[in-house]
Structure 1
Amino acid sequence: MPDATTSFTRDIPERIAKNPERARQIGATFVFRITGEGGGTWSIALQDDPRVIEGEAEGADCILTMTHDAWREISDHPARAMNHFTSGVVQVTGNAMLAIKLPAIIG
């Protein structure tokens, strides 16, 4: 179960690098606000130059806010992400429909 820092600085960039075309097809920018011990804020830009950015990107299409524990659960079990969205464990602002595309990148 990776912590958020490891996920955003190593794991997700590796997944993007393995298939940047798939990442570009998503065509959106996501901000992740991970609260609590081990948290932080990262952005995943999935357009022309797909990458992870430390901090909050301007003009994000979808912003997801969750605890570090929720992040670990989602990163370990991406199929459960929708349950977290619908139960309010993960708060989504912006275009929430884009969030359904995230398992291809984070899981």
Structure 2
Amino acid sequence: MSDMINEAVNALNEKLSGGFDGIAKFVIEGEGAIMLDAGGVRAADEEADVTLTASADTFQQILHGEMDPTSAFMSGKLSVDGDMGMAMKLGSALG
């Protein structure tokens, strides 16, 4: 598991301390995947209701509040596959 995945898991666990109502997956190109659900955040690559895919740079910017997830999606830097409503809910939780 990469250092970026470890850092992201820790940061997302702080932001989503109560877990996430649904099952979402972040795929970070060249690094790995992170699962978010009611149990919290962990490094894993499992089935999800929504999968968000971004480059490592874009993901870092979203994670650190330097880029809005909606803006990333609208500009093509973040792709969403699956439940768009859940993706929007996750974007709000990260913001």
The Cα offsets for residues 38-79 of structure 1, whole Å up to 9 and x where unpaired, read as: x21110013xxx311221122x11000110000011112266
2:57 is matched with: 69
- Equivalent positions of 1:20-31 (< 5 A) are 20=18, 23=19, 27-31=21-25
% identity of equivalent residues: 24
Asked which structure has the greater CA Rg, the reply is 1
Structure 2 Cα separation of the partners of residues 70 and 101 of structure 1: 19
Structure 1 Cα separation of the partners of residues 78 and 13 of structure 2: 22
Structure 1 residue 16 corresponds to structure 2 residue 16 = yes
Structure 1 residue 55 corresponds to structure 2 residue 56 = no
Cα root mean square deviation, aligned: 2.1
Out of 58, 79, 86, the residue aligned to residue 98 of structure 1 is 86
Contact 1:30 1:45 in 2 (8 A): yes
- TM-score with structure 2 length normalisation? 0.79
For these two proteins, the number of residue pairs brought into alignment is 92
Structure 1 residue 6 corresponds to structure 2 residue 4 = no
Q: Aligned pair in 2 of structure 1 residues 55, 73: CA closer, same or farther (>3 Å)?
A: same
Structure 1 residue 44 corresponds to structure 2 residue 45 = no
- 5+ residue gaps in structure 1? none
Q: Which has the higher helix share?
A: 1
- 5+ residue gaps in structure 2? none
Structure 2 Cα separation of the partners of residues 89 and 32 of structure 1: 13
